[in-house]
Amino acid sequence: MQIGSRRCLVNPHSGTGDHADRVRRSMEARGFAVAETEGAAHTVELAREAGEVGASTLAVCGGDGTINDALRGLYRADALGDVTLSVLPAGTANLLAGTLGIESLDHGIELSDTGEARALDVGVAEGGDGESAEPFLVSCIAGLPADASTATPDELKGRFGTLAFLLTGARETMAFDGLDVRVESPTRSWTGEATCVLVGNARKFVEEGGQADMEDGRFDVVVVERMPPQALAFEAAVHRLLGEGTEGVTHFRAGELHVASDDPITFSRDGEVATHERLDFRVLPSALSVRVGDAYDPDPNRDRNGG
């Protein structure tokens, strides 16, 4: 094996912050060159460098934000198709790891050199104001506070998963005026006042929630119409949202999407927050090799598709 062909980036501050030494020992024993990151920009730079020098595997230890920083680095190096990504979950929510069937940090370490590698879709969001395009693996969300997960009750998390994070934020922000948005895809369009627009690559937000199909070349898109600000009415809406065909919820799949408004909209892309008046989304099909666990389902919609 070429020296340096396996690299591991460790965010020592993710989660409880007590994992760095253990991860270093375990990954060095597997032949990885290990480096600790000093922040988001440093993670982007180290991942970009790994892509440029031809690393075969990049293991990333941290939460969803750290994983996204590394993804951005690989994207900037034009190396998505050359590197296998291994996820070592050490954050708070670890949404991507759960979707990939990675149950724990130790499980991620084990899979880093033995797990099955699947070619997964990567989402790209590009600002209509000429800003650079940025990739994402989990989701891009418009209209809700980026830190919604910090106030989500455990009971709601257990019942509704990812959607609970989002809706708790909206419930707490009763003064939220909604978004006047235009959502357009080649086959569907929606215009009006929305509470949020959810664009999922690894996650879906309706029915039972959970894993979206990361190998079908399409986003899982949900538009939630603006809800009444009264707390009781909003709470009732939360508990209705997962039902298929719920009034006020538009759900479809698309390989490209445009979300625009006459006013600035706050978007959270895998936890990275930015403001745009327009975002153009596209899927890069099967763009990134990622190691997955046995629980990963390459076709989570098979029952609905009649398979």
Residue 241 to residues 44, 74, 116, 146, 229: CA-CA distances in angstroms? 36, 36, 34, 20, 16
Last residue of a domain, one of 114, 141, 168: 114
- Would you call 50 helix, strand, or coil by DSSP? helix
- Average pLDDT score over residue span 122-133: 83
Residue of 76, 51, 220 lying closest to 138 (CA atoms): 220
Instruction: Quick: pLDDT tens for 28-66.
Output: 999 999 999 999 999 999 999 999 999 999 999 999 999
**Inside any domain, residue 10:** yes
pLDDT of residue 136: 96
Number of structural domains the chain divides into: 2
Do residues 83 and 226 both lie within one domain? no
Q: Are residues 81 and 144 in the same domain?
A: no
Residue recorded with tokens 């119409």: 225
- Indicate if 136 and 101 belong to the same structural domain: no
Residue 197 falls inside a structural domain: yes
**Helix 162-172 with 231-240: angle, nearest 10 deg:** 170
> Is 75 within the bounds of a domain?
yes
Whether residue 142 sits in one domain with residue 106:
no
- Structural domain includes residue 262: yes
- Residue 148 CA to residue 225 CA, distance in Å, equals 19
Domain that holds residue 173: 123-285
274 and 164 both lie in a single domain: yes
Whole-angstrom distance, CA of residue 186 vs CA of residue 259: 13
3-state secondary structure of 77: coil
Q: What is the structure's pLDDT at 109?
A: 98
pLDDT above 90 (res 306):
no
Residues 202 and 229 in one domain: yes
pLDDT in tens, 242-274: 454 456 788 899 999 999 998 888 888 887 888
pTM: 0.85
Cα(102)–Cα(61) distance, integer angstroms:
12
Confidence of residue 111 (pLDDT cuts 50, 70, 90): very high
Are 80 and 220 in the same domain? no
Q: Give the CATH number, domain containing residue 84.
A: 3.40.50.10330
